[in-house]
């Protein structure tokens, strides 16, 4: 197998499995570990994977976006801490927007006992609140994206246009000081942008692995958020770089 074919196979494995390890991958492909390390270095230089200790994880792009199953396995303990800290930022709001994604769904679970009206594009968030006696759920209409189980396009945007929401809980695929908040899909970016614009304040939910990553479509500036909630895994020095742009950074 030539290097290009092998790197394509490694990328496919990384995206399907969520993570690959150098030694098992070398055994599976019948090559030396140094060959795998070189291949991962090439894929990382193309911003297709991110090197981690002992292997690599996939980076999302316009051509690839992880699904709900993958997101529910990665940084799980951190995402639960983020959701708990984010739910404490409701601060008496009567209406809230809950974005698509696994971490926003965890926030929805923690709001199920509040007196609240929730607007959401996420079928996962709506399901988490389905049995609540105190939360009224308004599910945005539109085209459903099977990968994330969320609605997009003009039906969702039209509904958001007519609302004024107290607080928005927003997820992201990437965040940097230069490019702001980004996501691979322009339809998703449009819904996130509209939700932020129709909300009095916005809270960003972002695991530490999202920092330093830029995707295809920008939907907001860092300064558009009142608070960024992340994990203690994010270095404090990096957190201060983002606080310098305006929002408070909570490391849960």
63 domain-assigned: no
87 in the same domain as 44:
no
93 in the same domain as 39:
no
Which parts of the chain are beta strand (E)? 20-21, 49-52, 55-58, 95-98, 116-120, 135-139, 143-145, 150-152, 165-171, 174-176, 180-183, 199-205, 217-220, 227-230, 248-251
Whether residue 65 is predicted with pLDDT greater than 80 in this model: the reply is: no
Whether residue 12 is predicted with pLDDT greater than 70 in this model: the reply is: yes
Q: What's the pLDDT tens digit per position in 169-227?
A: 999 999 999 999 999 999 999 999 999 999 999 999 999 989 998 999 999 999 999 99
48 in the same domain as 78:
no
Helices (H), 46-153: 68-71, 76-87, 102-110, 123-128
216 in the same domain as 113:
yes
167 in the same domain as 43:
no
Domain residue limits at 148: 69-251
Return the CATH number at 34: 1.10.10
Output the pLDDT for position 30: 94
Domain count, the chain: 2
244 in the same domain as 148:
yes
191 in the same domain as 160:
yes
150 in the same domain as 26:
no
**Residue where one domain finishes, among candidates 20, 39, 58:** 58
Q: What's the pLDDT tens digit per position in 214-245?
A: 999 999 999 999 999 999 999 999 999 999 99
38 in the same domain as 81:
no
- The 3-state DSSP composition of the chain as helix, strand, coil percent (nearest 5) reads 40, 25, 35
156 domain-assigned: yes
Q: How many residues does the chain have?
A: 252
229 domain-assigned: yes
- CA separation for the pair 19, 74 (Å, rounded): 10
What integer is the mean pLDDT of 127-142? 97
128 in the same domain as 7:
no
């Amino acid at each position: 197998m030539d290097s290009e074919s092998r790197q394509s196979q490694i990328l496919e494995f990384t995206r399907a499995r969520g993570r690959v390890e150098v030694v098992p991958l070398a055994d599976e492909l019948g090559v030396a570990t140094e060959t795998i390390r070189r291949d991962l270095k090439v894929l990382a230089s193309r911003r297709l994977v991110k090197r981690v200790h002992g292997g690599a994880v996939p980076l999302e792009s316009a051509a690839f976006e992880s699904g709900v199953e993958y997101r529910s396995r990665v940084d799980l303990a951190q995402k639960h801490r983020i959701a708990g800290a984010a739910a404490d930022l409701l601060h008496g709001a009567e209406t809230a927007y809950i974005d698509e994604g696994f971490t926003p769904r965890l926030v929805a679970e923690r709001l199920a006992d509040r007196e609240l009206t929730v607007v959401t594009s996420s079928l996962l968030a709506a399901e988490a609140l389905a049995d609540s006696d105190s939360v009224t759920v308004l599910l945005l209409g539109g085209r459903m994206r099977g990968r994330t189980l969320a609605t997009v396009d003009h039906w969702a945007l039209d509904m958001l246009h007519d609302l004024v929401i107290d607080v928005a809980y927003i997820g992201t695929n990437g965040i940097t000081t230069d490019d702001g908040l980004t996501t691979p899909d322009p339809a998703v970016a449009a819904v996130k942008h509209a939700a932020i614009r129709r909300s009095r304040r916005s809270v960003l939910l972002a695991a530490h692995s999202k920092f330093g990553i830029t995707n295809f479509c920008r939907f907001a500036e860092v300064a558009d958020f009142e608070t960024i909630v992340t994990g203690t895994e994010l270095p404090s020095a990096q957190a201060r770089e983002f606080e310098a742009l305006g929002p408070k950074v909570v490391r849960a």
